[in-house]
Chains A and B, each alone.
Chain A
Amino acid sequence: MSEFEIKKSATEYDAVIVGSGAGGGMAGYVLANAGLKVLMLEAGEYFDPRTDSQQLKWPWESPRRGAGTTRHFGDFDAAYGGWELDGEPYTQKDNSEFSWFRSRMLGGKTNHWGRISLRMGPDDFKPKDGLTDEWPITYQELKPFYDKIDRMIGIYGTVEGIESEPDGIFMKPPKPRLNELFIKKGAKKAGVNVIAGRGSVLTEELKGNKDRAPCFYCGQCGRSCKVYGDFSASSCLVIPAINTGNLKVITNAMVREVITDKTGKAIGLSYVNTKDLQEYQVNGKIVILGASACESARLLLNSKSPAHPNGLANNSGVVGKYLHDSTGASLGGYLPQLVDRKRYNEDGVGSVHIYSPWWLDNKKLDFPRGYHIEYGGGMGMPGYGFGWGIENLNGKGGYGASLKNDYRHWYGTSVGMAGRGTAIARESNYCEIDPNVVDKFGIPVLRFNYKWAPEEVKQAKHMQETFQEIMHGMGAVITSGIPGPETNYGLEAPGKIIHEVGTVRMGDDPKKSALNRWCQAHDCKNLFVVDAGPFVQQGDKNATWTILALSMRTAEYILQQKEKLNLS
């Protein structure tokens, strides 16, 4: 017998799912609760916020005081991974600089995300400016699923009646912090509307759910929540689905390929165990990809066969194309009025307390679409970086007793804001398989080609002008520097906002899209994609709530099609 052997499982599951984040987690949750036998493969480690969260740790419990040496967002952050993974490279074409964030763990990036949970609006699905392709579905078609998710997972916010920012079914929002009241005042002067944040954090009891407790206001959602007070796919979807007895999860399973038969039908997956490097094959009547927009595109492009010579679900050639991430730029400073402010606990929730939905009419602007603004600041827990650059606050630097007093004076005066905007989905921005490079598992890697266009740069310029007006309006001092044209107005490199979508887009025309309106592959009817790959065009809304709604809709469609898909 050869030493090199692929271990083939005899079991045939109803569905095999790749990935355990928002998309894969939701599909697994719906199907397992409906009684289907489901197998989920996760490339990273098992993670249960209940036991693994770093919540309520003090900075001195980290030798680097919470710095981001091995985790970009800090030692306590709940992301195993980052923009660079050891042994899992990606490459760039021409002068592209796309950054690809990966969380290798149960629940994926939902363990550490900002919990900002926005619905896309009617015009995001059917744009009136004709600049980008329409989605095959309308807001009204997705609305019932957004509603169900609001009720099932829980979200806070306020009913505002803004058409482009559809209301949900909300719990009470957290009240603004002091710095946020200053922001509100300043923004009003600048003509910018500020409303309560919308976040998937339980500010009230979630009726009928015994596993999750309401928020206790530590402001540490980024570490994931031990009492499941916020939404993570691990705590709210995958672990409950495991508890039905119908979902089996295999962790440390890096999927290599979707296996198809001679007719081109998907029959299962091959994967490598990342710990012992053994090769495995598993079988399913249907295959569901929720590996993340770029990872699912990579998997499809790597799944070539005689029936699918261009890669799976890729007769159209669109897989990998139309990659787009939100635009992002930011500005920071401090409020001199708050020097020597009274101390109290204002941790609040770990998502946003307030934000500004897009408020302008594009007819008067030199760029399309828009952006929303997220705000922060206040008396946060000190961590590595605390006190850095005191000379920018006290105007001198110094040492000794007076310096020590200065750290006290300025504590809690910080204020910052960040724009998150619509980037146009372009065919010319894409990921593809690099023909020359494989990762440590021998899997061909992605090569990115992504460049910002004038539309996005002009949007960033507008963000900076707005931020300065708001800072001015509240009497704040800008300390972060004001980025100009030499840095594209502080526009972050694509991928840095971690909202990448669009690589396996849906549509009614099989020549122009990989998936139909149910996120089912045009070229392979028992293959579905449930992450952010199916997005045709992202609005200025963070992607997660739409991923969840789409995935739930696809999972319910699969249940309706049980007979056609030959499921038990």
Chain B
Amino acid sequence: MNRRESLKVLGLTAVSTGIVLEACKPGKETETVAKIDEKAKPGRQQFETERDRQLNSYKFFSEHEMATIAVLADIIIPKDDKSGSATDAKVPDFIEFIVKDMPYHQIPMRGGLKWLDMQSLSRFGKSFKEVSSDQQIAIVEDIAYPGKVKPGMQPGVNFFSLMRNLTASGFYTTEIGIKDVGYMGNQPNIWEGVPADVLKHYGMEDV
């Protein structure tokens, strides 16, 4: 089989990788999934398809919790001149799914959100999502650094670390995030070793 034939097997031609990207955008994906869900998907086991459908059939987080997650996610990964924010990449939806997929995240997330609201209430008289952004940052400053934890703040630090981890995983696994971090693979190509300028930069020409 030659290269042209193998690209055909992949459903690609040399120029069509852009089309594949287009077809895989989150928005379009949901439509396709809904249709294909009716029968088995190639390479998926029946129990996996059924499990995904079941997880998508109910909500775990309340509206208040989801709104708080969205505020936190954008504090962790805001929009900058290179790419959009965590909510632009629909990170809260990912977190909603993943706690159903991995139930061991449920108590740390739900309890952590509640801890955060109680902290906010006692300091500023309102829930976290209702206080001003300066007040939100004041709380976040106290829970964002696992290396220096003030007395009594450890539960908040643990929660924020989990929230940061989930936000990063949710963000960098989207088209926005992958573009941001600069991953350039996942497409047919030829690997001929480290580019010459890079070899030179690191003095690795003779290794």
Contacts and interface: CB of A to CB of B under 8 A. Distances in A.
Contacts of A1: none
A213 interface: yes
A53 B42 CA distance: 8
A473 interface: no
Interface string B185-197: 1111111111101
A351 B5 CA distance: 23
B67 interface: no
B181 A211 contact: no
Contacts of B57: none
A526 to B, nearest CB: 35
Overall SS of chain A's interface: loop
A210 interface: yes
Given A175-B192, A384-B169, A400-B75, A408 B180 contact: yes
Interface stretch (A25-33, A55-63, A443-451): A55-63
A65 B9 contact: no
Contacts of B97: 63-64
B65 to A, nearest CB: 19
Overall SS of chain B's interface: helix
A397 B146 contact: yes
B178 A175 contact: no
A47 B44 CA distance: 10
Contact of A381 (B80, B171, B183): B183
B9 A227 contact: yes
A60 B43 contact: no
Given A176-B194, A382-B181, A60 B173 contact: yes
B172 interface: yes
Given A184-B207, A404-B77, A399 B140 contact: yes
Given A50-B9, A218-B186, A213 B2 contact: yes
Nearest to B148: A396
B202 A390 contact: no
B174 interface: yes
Contacts of A382: 169, 172-173, 177-178, 181, 183
Contacts of A344: 184, 195, 198
A142 interface: no
Interface residues of A, number: 83
A53 B41 CA distance: 11
Contacts of B169: 65, 382-388
Given A69-B102, A386-B172, A60 B24 contact: yes
Given A385-B169, A386-B168, A218 B43 contact: no
A411 B181 contact: yes
Interface string A325-342: 000000000000100011
A391 B194 contact: no
Contact of B186 (A58, A178, A184, A228): A58
30 contacts: A52-B42, A55-B10, A56-B186, A58-B186, A60-B174, A65-B170, A65-B173, A67-B98, A67-B102, A213-B5, A217-B190, A227-B9, A229-B6, A341-B198, A382-B169, A382-B178, A383-B169, A386-B172, A386-B173, A387-B165, A388-B165, A391-B145, A391-B146, A391-B147, A397-B144, A397-B145, A397-B161, A399-B140, A401-B80, A411-B182
Given A185-B204, A381-B185, A395-B147, 5 more contacts: A86-B47, A342-B197, A382-B181, A387-B172, A397-B145
Interface of A: 45, 47, 50-61, 63-67, 69-70, 78, 80, 86, 174-178, 181-182, 184-185, 205, 210-214, 216-220, 226-229, 337, 341-349, 379-391, 395-401, 403-404, 407-408, 411
